[in-house]
Amino acid sequence: MRRERSVELIDTQSGGDVSRIVTAGIEPIPGTTALEKARYLQREGDGLRRLLLSEPYGDPAMSVDLIVEPGHPEAQAGYIIMEAMGYPMYSGSNTICTATALLESGMIPMTGGTQQVVLESPAGLARVTAECADGRVESITTKGEPAFVADRDLRIEVPEYGPVRFDLVWSGAYYALVRADEHGFAITAEEQIALTAFGDAFVRAARPGLRQEHPSLGDVGPLPFVHFAGPIRRGDDGIDESPSATYVHPGVICRSPTGTGTSARLALMAEDGELAPGDALRTISPRGSSFVGTLLGPTQVEGLSAWDSTTTGAARLMAHSRITVDLDDPLVDASDLEPLLRQ
């Protein structure tokens, strides 16, 4: 008897980063909150992440967002983020893609004009403002995790690169913020391979000595991201902008500058007195795509000084698909996948 299952997807992209939104075909995930469900998948059901981010079904440069029942009464939907590095607590580009897919598919009714949406990520509530017109989501502004500077002016010796100075910032995951010009990077498309090699070597050298604990979320895993920060210049529209690149371990330079990378940069600049509430920064990726981050104001995370901000971007739907998963295919690891797939 053939052991085949099907999974329904909406493929989206924001700033060039592809997010695969899983809308059907998955059994209910144990747990009440999105965080509990994400940690269950990490322990017991990682086969879904590996399937959709690996050949022949996917690519490690993609992300996956599984739609789940929310645990918080304010949330209209929950989502679990899966990437090559594992299970991030929050992601700006994935939130932009997920909110767009839910609205344009009708899973959350679109009312037109300016619309408020509340989603539940593993990190907590993501409050989203969607600008909609003619059945399309024109832009998404998402207020995600408060960002805080965890450690300043750290240094690590990286084989073949020498000493690297960086700051450690939480913005939904821990980011190492590296000043690109200190290492000869202008953050251009031609430098993507070199940025990837640098990021890989840096993360391998830095991980053993860095914290993995978040004050309220507990163990969030080893360092997953490096954000390369370029110089700031004034844009033609009067908004400050900066070339920026995010490395995801292992081996991925994001097509977008990333929302969490942007909010980490805002928090660091705010701590240094370079930004005030209401100020904005446009981050521009090596591929030329951009997000706009806006600093809202100070807050606290378990007594630590932190900063609220928003990220504004846009997503586009690329495909609605139903994939067939043959559990007898030797390229499919069915061991922790089969229990998740609805018959």
Point out the residues that are catalytic.
Answer: 91
Q: What are phi and psi of 89, to 5 degrees?
A: -70, -35
Give residues with Cβ within 8 angstroms of 210, minimum separation 6: 168, 174, 176, 222, 223
- Distance separating alpha carbons of residues 323 and 234, to the nearest angstrom: 46
By C-alpha distance, which of 105, 117, 111, 108 is closest to 317? 105
Rg (CA), the chain: 19
Count of alpha carbons within 13 angstroms of residue 104, beta-carbon side: 27
Which residue do the tokens 């995370």 mark?
A: 301
Strands (E), 95-173: 113-121, 124-133, 136-143, 148-158, 162-170
- With a CB cutoff of 8 Å and minimum separation 6, the contacts of 162 are none
> What six digits make up the tokens of 199?
């990021």
For 61, which DSSP code?
T
Decide if 21 contacts 98 (C-beta within 8 A). Answer: yes
Residues 178/338, Cβ–Cβ less than 8 Å? no
> CB neighbours of 35 closer than 8 A, spacing ≥ 6?
89, 122, 123, 217
